[in-house]
Amino acid sequence: MIAVTRSYRFSASHRLHLGDLSEQQNTELYGKCNNPFGHGHNYRLEVSVAGPVHQVTGQMIPLNQLDRLVQDHILASFEHCNLNVDVPQMADVVPTTENVLSVITAILQQHWSDYIPGAARLYRVYIQETDRNGFGIFVPTAHNATYTGAQQ
């Protein structure tokens, strides 16, 4: 089995804040990321696919299909937006990068078979938030439980 990874970039803003906590508690928990006006990041998203190489084409997948999937369902929704307000899947979760990653993974899985032919599967999704913070998910195989996204 071979894995291929494609990288994408998007910029988005968010505020880390729990409505059930006081302003002081939110500041203690999230620090400067609790700024009432929000803040932004230039995220780098990596999507890895694993599977067999097609004997005729010499490719695992047509990369343009993966690019279309990410463009249509991730970048179109996440690029230049306020994650707290503009992404419906983030409405009920704090938009930490962990939760952003979980939502992106669930969206990719939901639309996978519409774009990616054959036996190739979503293997890993990774998001780099800052120079120091990056988060990744290894996606379970088909015979294991499907990843369901952010937990509330």
Catalytic residues: 33, 80, 129
CA–CA gap between residue 55 and residue 104 (Å, rounded): 31
- Looking up tokens 């998007």, which residue turns up? 10
Q: Provide the 3-class DSSP secondary structure of residue 62.
A: coil
Contacting residues for 9 by C-beta, under 8 A, at least 6 apart: 42, 43, 44, 45
Which of these, 67, 61, 51, 69, lies nearest to 119 by C-alpha position? 51
Chain-centroid distance, C-alpha 104? 3
Sign of CA dihedral 149, 45, 117, 89: positive
In this structure, are residues 61 and 49 in contact, taking their beta carbons and an 8 Å threshold?
Answer: yes
Gyration radius of the chain's alpha carbons: 17
